[in-house]
Structure formats: C-alpha cells, structure tokens
Amino acid sequence: MPYFKHIFPLQSMLGLLILIIAAPGVQAGILTGQSVVSPTTIDLTSEGSRDWIQFGLDSVAIPNRKANTSALLGNVTALGGANFRRAVAAPGVRADFSWTDGSPTLSATTGNRIFTTDIGSGFEMTIPVGTDLQTLHFYVGGFRSQGLFQASLSDNSAAPFSVTVANLSGPYDQRVSLDVQADSPNQTLSVQFVHTGGTSIAFIAASAPGIAGNLLPTANNGTLSVDFDTITGGSLGANDPDSDPLTFSINSQPSQGAITLNNATTGSFTYTPNVGATGLDSFTFIANDGNGNSNVATVSITIASPVSGGGTGILTGQSVVSPTTIDLTSEGNRDWIQFGLDSVAIPNRKANTSALLGNVTALGGANFRRAVAAPGVRADFSWTDGSPTLGATTGNRIFTTDIGSGFEMTIPVGTDLQTLHFYVGGFRSQGLFQASLSDNSAAPFSVTVANLSGPYDQRVSLDVQADSPNQTLSVQFVHTGGTSIAFIAASAPGIAGNLL
C-alpha cells in the first residue's frame, strides 16, 4: 500500500494541526496459491466461465481463447530471450484440454503446448485485477526439468507468490491456482514461469472461473529410512491454503512392505517391511479438505542392508569438481580405463597389466552412446601407455539419456586398503553415484552429482577395504533427472588410502 497522510484540526488553545502519517508496508491485498498435479482432462469451457486461453493447438503465435467475451487473460510474452516452440501431444499422452466456445477454433481436444529450452528463459502473462476476490488457474509443465512459477501484484498489497514445479525424471503437467485481490482498483497481476534447470518447460493454458473458490490441499512428498527387518513409523504431510481440516488416505501400497494408516486426521502411519527386504520402496497418498482431493504425493523409502562381517571394512569417499586435465598414465599407475575415444563398445585401458578396473555394463536398459568433446571444452584425459590406442588426449565419453538407466562397474577388492578414482559427468542433469562392498562390512557410499543448468564433470574418490579377502566393490552411476549422464574414466593409484 502506498504512503498516505491525513491532516485534521485539533481543538486546543494552541490551534495546532496534527499530522498523522501511516506506516508503510501494510498489506491488505490477497495473493495465495497452490500447485498440484494437473487433472488428466480439463474442460476449459466449463472451468473458464469468465475467460480461458490455450496455447499451441495449431501454432506458436496464435492461441485459442474464449470467444465472444472481453479478454481477461492476455497472451504470454517471452522472458530471457525465450524462443517459443510448439510441442504436439496426442490425446491421452499428456493432460488434455477441450473446449466448445473457442476462437479461432470453435472446439477441440488437445495436449499441445508451447515450450522453451534455454535456462533463464520463460513466459510472462499480465492480468487486470481489482478489489474483488477472484480465482485463476494456470497450467504449466515440462520434460525432465524444473521451473519457477512467480506471481505479484502491481500495488504490492500482498506478498509475491512463488513455487517450483519440477520432474527431473520425465514429463509433467501442473496446475497452479491463485486467489487474487488487490487493495485498490485498476491493478495488474504479473505471472511468470521461468526455466531453472533441465530440458524444457511449457505454458499450456489458463482459466478464470466465475466464482472465487476453494483452494485444494497440497500433499507433500516425503522420505523414510528403515533399518533392516525393522517396523518404522512416520507421518504424512499436507498443506491447505484455506486452513481446512484434512483427512489422509493411502493411494497405493509399497511393493516391499505394507503401510498401516494409524490416524487419518494426523497422517500417522506404520511401515512394515517384508522379511529380508532391502533397497528402495515407495507408496503414495492423498489429502482431502472436505471439498476435493489433493495431488498424489509419494513417500520414498530406503531399507538398509544388513551389516555382516563384523562391520570392520572401509568404504569412504568424496566428490569434487574434476580437474580440467587428468594424466591417466601418471594417476593410474596400478590401472586405468577411459571410455569413448573411438567407440562405445571398446574402452582404452592401461596396457601390459592385469586389469583391475572392469568395463562398465548397462543398468536399467541403458543404451550407451558416444559424445565427442574437442580438447579444452570438457575435462581432458591423456595417456601414453594405453591399449588399443597407445597415446591420446580426449574429452570424449559415453552417456545415457533414459531416467533410471546407468552404468555399473565391478572391481575385485580384499583386506588391503586402496584408493580408486571415478570420473563421471552430464548435461543439465543429476545422477546418483553409489558404491557397496559384497561382504557388507562397511556402510554403502552414495552421493548425488548434478548441474541442472549446464555441463559438468566430477571426480568421485573412494577409499576401500573389505573385511575379508576375495570380495568385490560394486559401483553404479544412475540417471535420476534431467537430460543425460556420462561415465568417462576410472583410475587406481599405486598408493592406497589417500583421497586427493
């Protein structure tokens, strides 16, 4: 609210005038919102009784909108040099939008949308608002990415609203609903959706219902850590913008155990793992505010492996940005291996030595491909004692693009402490690096390496010692979000126990 002053006479012997200046910063407007997974079908004619707009049916430049009405929802404009492109989605593949009162196309059903790929680029829409409370719905999405949705009032009479919408492992469509009321007439609402990481984001549609309505609750994703063969409790989480009382329900059960909902009001639950279960599990739930359901949220569960062998092994590590140049001949005087110089299938490795570092194998149906990098563009690897190529300098590597796919390498280990270096990378993505000992004599090591806004090369170094001889170290690098991840090289120095 702007500064204001009011002057009035005070009856007194001195005939003084008293000047009252109101304190700034009083916010009497409303700008609240929620973000939920989009319904699979949206009837814009029904939902947008005041107005609606949809992007990408037939072109990038010309949206479809509600006919025979004064337009409330404006076209989107480009932010950050965005170059809008059109994505065509067959019915049933993504969220579908239909209408029977449109222009220039009277009726249609489509999942098409417009999108941008450049980090920092995005969409902006401006909507006139006043002192009447109104609800607006905005439909955005993307592919293996994250975007920042922001909204603000021109009179600053309410705090700006913002929410990150994301799915780094695949496509997503999201509905962001706002309740909006300015403190003074003739104001505007500015809405922006900006690409902050990954592959691409999209703007699909917007609607203005006739009556400002109930904001649905938002169910929150969660995590749960479970010891081996141990029943564990937790609580579900959700938020309701209208502060309505919530009721929780389980949407899908986990595959490696069972969920018991102890209290539907508080969300208290118990997870009972199957006997002998280890690894990853999950279940989904929803919240209801008495007027409608929330989005479907996921609780991700990690079940620890049993510890055997006395627990006296060693498996510790660190992840740092890779040096720009790596001399594998010098660093890997016990062994080294490099991927992608001339082919996907045949790595280069240290010649005239018994191989310690094995070739990588595919995880999750990975289809390895080769990326060629000119010297100086990415981390460069050189050697003078290789086979089949004696000497080379290269930034080439092999990569995979499918979420859940990745690389696995198995290395023999024993009771002598040794250090191993692994070089991994990617582009606008994140990957999970994991290592474990076959005798479970030390806790598994894991670290996420990521850069959602560009390329990256990382060195993960491990100190490894099993509790018993003739064991193996399993190393995995799995694509968990974004565009692509890469496996580049590995080395075994001659001196163990030193993390660079």
pLDDT in tens, 48-96: 888 999 999 999 999 999 998 878 999 999 999 999 999 999 888 899 9
The mean pLDDT value of the chain amounts to: 89
CATH for 314-495 is 2.60.120
pLDDT at residue 292 in the model = 59
Which among 144, 199, 201 is positioned nearest to 176, based on CA atoms? 201
The pTM of the full predicted model, rounded to 2 decimals, is: 0.64
**pLDDT tens per residue, range 188-208:** 999 999 999 999 999 999 999
Q: Answer yes or no: is pLDDT of 3 > 50.
A: no
pLDDT band of 451, cuts 50, 70, 90: very high
pLDDT band of 209, cuts 50, 70, 90: confident
Q: Answer yes or no: is pLDDT of 10 > 60.
A: no
Q: Which CATH architecture has domain 30-210?
A: Sandwich (2.60)
pLDDT at residue 374 in the model = 84
Instruction: Identify whether the C-beta of residue 259 lies closer than 8 Å to the C-beta of residue 248.
Output: no
Instruction: Identify whether the C-beta of residue 482 lies closer than 8 Å to the C-beta of residue 426.
Output: yes
Q: Answer yes or no: is pLDDT of 14 > 80.
A: no
**pLDDT tens per residue, range 323-360:** 999 999 999 999 999 999 999 999 999 999 888 999 99
CATH class of 218-303: mainly beta
pLDDT at residue 290 in the model = 67
Peptide bond into 412 cis (omega under 30): no
pLDDT at residue 1 in the model = 33
Which among 209, 206, 267, 263 is positioned nearest to 235, based on CA atoms? 267
Instruction: Identify whether the C-beta of residue 263 lies closer than 8 Å to the C-beta of residue 247.
Output: no
- Give CA separation, 327 vs 330, 383, 425, in Å: 5, 6, 18
pLDDT at residue 5 in the model = 33
- Which part of the chain is CATH 2.60.40.10? 218-303
Residues 6+ apart with CB under 8 A from 14: none
- Return the C-alpha torsion angle 410, 406, 439, 300, nearest 10: 180
pLDDT at residue 274 in the model = 85
- Which part of the chain is CATH 2.60.120? 30-210, 314-495
pLDDT band of 106, cuts 50, 70, 90: very high
pLDDT at residue 294 in the model = 77
Residue range 218-232: mean pLDDT, rounded: 90
Helix, strand, or coil (residue 349): strand
pLDDT at residue 494 in the model = 73
Q: Answer yes or no: is pLDDT of 452 > 60.
A: yes
